[in-house]
Amino acid sequence: MKTDKQPHAIVIGGSMAGLLTARVLSDYFERVTIVERDPVQDQPESRKGQPQTRHLHALLSAGYEIVSTLFPGIEEELAAGGAIVGDPGATARWYQFGGWKKPFDSNMRGCLSSRPYLEWQVRRRVLALPNMRLLAPCEVKTLLTNEDDSRVVGAEIVHRGDGREAENLAADLVVDCAGRGSATPKWLDEWGYGRAPESRVKVNFAYSTRIYRRKPTDLPDAKTIMIAPTPPAKSGTFLFPIEGDRWIVTSGGMHGVEPPTDEAGFLEYIRNLPVSDIYNIISRAEPLSDITPHKFPFSLRRHYEKMKRFPAGLLVLGDAAASFNPIYGQGMSAAAMQAAALQKLLQKQGNTPTLWRSFFKQAAKIVDMPWQIAVGEDFRWAETEGPKPPGADLINRYTAYLHRVMEEDVVVGEQFLRVVHLMAAPPSLMSPRMLWRAWRWKRQQGKGTAVSAQPAAKPVRQN
């Protein structure tokens, strides 16, 4: 186990991926510097470079476990500030494929809050570390390399807004967490490495969000409502509670279907969903914000694991490597899982010249799971464009059937939820146990009787 600390690491980007990465690096480097383009204040905020943070976000159970481990006690602080911590199986009401999934106790944990509030709670803990420094607003102009460009040795940064000249910072490791706008592909081209192969899946997802005042009587038997689109329909809406006794409501549409941004149109869009549960709440609730739109044209994956050559001293993590259709809420959790993988590699081998090879191999395995889930689901719509995963049509027909089974069978519902929350791999839904329960449900339906729901088995944690 490597314990000797190297002098300095730089993290590009101060969003969730960058903050979690900086926390991991703080155990293995004497100093860690986060370089963030936008001004940062000590409060919950949506910065200019984070337009998506104004919309509904989810920290899935896999990500929540990692965040709780990296920051002991954060669950209590989140709850004290008004975030809702609970069991996603017991508190969510999920409508799709013509029915409601049966609720159950999953023994998983999740956190419901606004993205700015969650990020602020993480950021204040990261910046409280004695070896941590935040430079903001500050931009990485380029990365510095050795004579033959075989290793990144630092970064040239520009302090924005104060007229200061560019400054060179030496570093033993630079981790790019700058999001989809990452400059690493351009830098690799300039150094003669070429660009990593890319996968793009075009979904044309448009969504709009509004905040409402929340009352205890609005939804007494649950905490969230998810009305997800069932193909060929392209419209859906999610309602989640967040801190400050508020609802955050995000409506979305795929492939040319866009929620209106005027009040009457927004409400009518939600009223026309297959069920009226969300409309019944917000049509009587007090609006607390304007209606904010956002568009997500395509999911993007940069396959750094396929590169034969790559400069030592540089890694890419989070949305800078892979970003998914936000309807599935996987981004923060996938980034947390990659940060946890980096932690294990640094503990095992330290910051060696071949760390990039080991990390990208591990990161690819992590990304495979949310990518398979998101992209596979996106290909339920004929308009989706891009490389279709092998067997996607067959898998989608099977999982559409499981959606109906989950209206009655909480054992199937539990396993499905574990996959959705990145706690289990998608193939687990095709285990003999799952196939048998699906066949049993179909047989009982053919006889005109429903299967009695059985208590869910206690989940086994998967590392």
For the purposes of burial, counting CB atoms within 10 Å of the CB of 379, is it exposed (0-12), middle (13-18) or buried (19 or more)?
buried
Per-residue pLDDT tens digits for 147-185: 999 999 999 999 887 667 789 999 999 999 999 999 999
Per-residue model confidence (pLDDT) at position 463:
31
In the chain, where the domains are located? 6-57+116-197+303-374, 200-297
Q: Name the CATH architecture for the domain at 200-297.
A: 2-Layer Sandwich (3.30)
Per-residue model confidence (pLDDT) at position 4:
80
Per-residue model confidence (pLDDT) at position 217:
95
CB neighbours of residue 374 within 10 Å: 23
Per-residue model confidence (pLDDT) at position 134:
98
Per-residue model confidence (pLDDT) at position 161:
74
Beta bridge pairs of residue 358: none
Instruction: Find tokens 């709440």 and name the residue.
Output: 281
Q: Does CATH place domain 6-57+116-197+303-374 in 3.50.50.60?
A: yes
Cα-Cα-Cα-Cα dihedral sign, residues 37, 118, 247, 240: positive
Per-residue model confidence (pLDDT) at position 448:
59
Mean pLDDT (10-residue bins), the chain, 463 residues: 82 98 98 97 92 90 96 95 93 96 93 95 98 96 97 95 83 97 97 97 97 96 95 97 97 96 97 97 98 96 98 98 94 97 97 97 97 95 94 93 95 96 95 94 73 39 33
